[in-house]
Structure 1
Amino acid sequence: MSERFENPWAHPRHRFRDVLRWKLGVEPGDPESGAPDRPARSVPWSPQPLPASGWRATWFGHASFLLEGEGRRILVDPVFSDYCSPFPLPGLKRFVRPPCTLDDLGSVDAVLLSHSHYDHLELPTLRRFGRDTPMVVPEGHGRWLERKGFRQVIELPWWSVGDLLPGIRVTSTPAQHFTARTAFDRNRGHWCGYRIDASGLSLWHAGDSGYCPVFREIGERLGPVDFGMIPIGAYSPRWFMKPVHMTPEEAVEVFRNVGCRRAVGMHWGTFRLTDEPMGEPPIRLRAACEAADVAGFVTGAVGESWEIPLLRSGGATDDGDFTA
């Protein structure tokens, strides 16, 4: 990681002193909502036959998803460890176990990584898949992962398109965030989301992001999304988190901006990263969807799967056939 990356539009920028102001309570927090402080539900998961057509998406907690289609299995931001930190920190302990072990999960055909934060890129998990597993990363991460021993690393700059696997195309989409794994490598790698096009369907993982104007541009440039995975948590206190994490209400705007037909909320209920009650994001999402007259944006349990079927005319069904 050598080049330094920045978000190309204006937004508030926080530094280490702001972290101290937050953690020491110098700035006031957000009003208490009374929402339950409980993690996401979980259900057991075991491998199923690959879909004969269409795709299946399974939430493995936080931002981790298993995507199955075209006879392939793709993981996005897999994190299976007990802590999302370089060493065990009590405040970053996992509250919901993954729905299966890595041994039960078995092999995967490729991995997509949105950025280098420990709750999205976890080396012990990646090493379990083997160093020859294809990995797609944002700019600035390729050489770093190669130095860690991975041999098939593909860097995708924003808006660039790559053939991930036969019949599966992936596009790197912009996001508003930052990267760092130490105190000395801030923004040495980029951050992104991924749109996957295959089998006449489009799937989109937003990555980690604050709300910004680029989501409307994603929708205008790339067209509607059949199945979205959009972050809805880790947003409080707003004075600090607004540039890097969106609220459920902002996530509904992203759903509309990008042109999602259906979506699942992620980045909540697994790790306690911020101040809001762990059970608050789904409650606010339901209320925001009702207020905006948005249907098809849901939350689920860790380990839950959603089938994304095809219509005969191509594209996902738009009549509510969005099954878990």
Structure 2
Amino acid sequence: MRTCFFWILSLLISNVCGVAFAEDSLLSKLQQDKSHHTESGFTNPYLDLEPSVVAFLKTRYFGDLSWPDEPVNYRKFWQKADLQKIDNPSEKPQATLIGHSTVLLQYQGLNILTDPIFSERAFPVQFAGPKRYTPVAIKLEDLPEIDLVVISHNHYDHLDKDTVKALGDKPLWLVPLGLKSWFTSLGIDNVQELDWWSEYRFKGLTLQFQPNQHWSRRGLFDTNKSLWGAWAFIWPDFTAWFGGDTGYNDVQFKQIGQVLGEVDLAMIPIGAYQPRWFMKYQHINPDEAVKIFQDINAKSAFGIHWNTFVLTAEAIDQPPVDLKKALVKNNLSVDSFRAMPLGETYQSN
């Protein structure tokens, strides 16, 4: 009987160790894969076709596809952030959606910002370009002291110069390969660049920069000179995932699920997805957002990248409708992945 017990115990231990070894082996293999590197910058290894920007501009400005106007004083799916919750966070993880893809993630005494933009416009200048139609849920000056900022890529709705300068050199900035020089040109040196699958440890937190399907550019001659990606925040007892801005493929997100095992909270883009013939290569729609939710083995999620700027052709209040349809179609609880109002604070159970 005792022999049988020890045999079963050893079998269980070997199975657990085998799973851990398999995950470590996969991560090591992925870290060595540089298929996204090119001689001049970076590329999407699982994207064979890139849509015509010229054709998109013709559709946008000369076609018959209708585009929503920027509403004035819009407050649907919006509320002012609860400063009491933010200034006195519970011992459990919490995340406040500030606007677009800007999230304040708080846990274990850390205050973390994702893709912060507090400016009125997502554009090189503040007198033109996409204008914010919902206000930020918390003012920049009302934020708690920020320890860490992560950037997914360099597009203007994710990397805002005025916000970066306002936050300054005090927080640590984690950015994709090729972006550090942009920060140092602003006098910000507290910056670490990461490649896909690279890790950085910070006060008990492991941050892992992970792949997604997108691109980068801020000027006329710097297309894909810097990398793009997603971020995983891995504490011993809690894992969060920030998707940044991405199209869908059936390889990278499944790999993320294999490496992470399970995600407690995912922040996944749900907006800016029409017209589909152009946007599908770089922006997921809610149906694909649910696929990512499943691929990365997320337990709960809320939507980012919506309800802030008019960037594409779908109605501004369409993402929640399409998200609910996608969840129902996949027999998932509509509460597991929410189109959370700007300003709301997600709190872990």
Taking structure 1 as the reference length, what is the TM-score of the superposition? 0.88
**Aligned length in residues:** 303
Deviations 1:261-288 (A, max 9, x none): 0000111111000000000000010111
Distance 2:75 2:254 in 1: 31
Identity of matched residues, %: 34
Deviation at 1:53, TM superposition (A): 2.6
Asked whether the 8 Å contact 1:39–1:270 carries over to 2, the reply is no
Deviation at 1:16, TM superposition (A): 3.5
Correspondent of 2:134 among 73, 81, 96: 96
Distance 2:47 2:90 in 1: 45
Aligned to 1:200: 237
Distance 1:291 1:303 in 2: 28
Secondary structure at 2:159's aligned position in 1?
coil
Deviation at 1:3, TM superposition (A): 4.3
Question: Aligned Cα RMSD in Å?
Answer: 2.2
Distance 1:156 1:50 in 2: 32
Aligned to 1:247: 285
Aligned to 1:42: 78
Correspondent of 1:216 among 238, 254, 264: 254
Deviation at 1:109, TM superposition (A): 0.5
Asked whether the 8 Å contact 1:201–1:226 carries over to 2, the reply is yes
After TM superposition, list the pairs within 5 Å mapping 1:129-144 onto structure 2: 129-144=167-182
Secondary structure at 1:24's aligned position in 2?
helix
Deviation at 1:289, TM superposition (A): 0.4
**In the alignment, does 2:266 pair up with 1:228?**
yes
Deviation at 1:259, TM superposition (A): 0.5
Deviation at 1:155, TM superposition (A): 0.8
**In the alignment, does 2:341 pair up with 1:301?**
yes
Distance 2:48 2:268 in 1: 20
Deviation at 1:90, TM superposition (A): 4.9
Secondary structure at 1:60's aligned position in 2?
strand
Aligned to 1:314: none
Deviation at 1:223, TM superposition (A): 1.1
**In the alignment, does 2:113 pair up with 1:75?**
yes
Deviation at 1:148, TM superposition (A): 1.7
Partner AA of 1:4 in structure 2: G
Deviation at 1:133, TM superposition (A): 1.8
Taking structure 2 as the reference length, what is the TM-score of the superposition? 0.82
Structure 2: 5+ residue runs without aligned partners?
A: 1-38
Aligned to 1:319: none
Partner AA of 1:220 in structure 2: Q
Distance 1:51 1:112 in 2: 20
Q: 1:50 to 1:174 in 2, by over 3 A?
A: farther
Distance 2:128 2:183 in 1: 27
Deviation at 1:104, TM superposition (A): 1.2
Q: 1:190 to 1:47 in 2, by over 3 A?
A: farther
Deviation at 1:222, TM superposition (A): 1.9
Deviations 1:42-66 (A, max 9, x none): 2112253444432100001111100
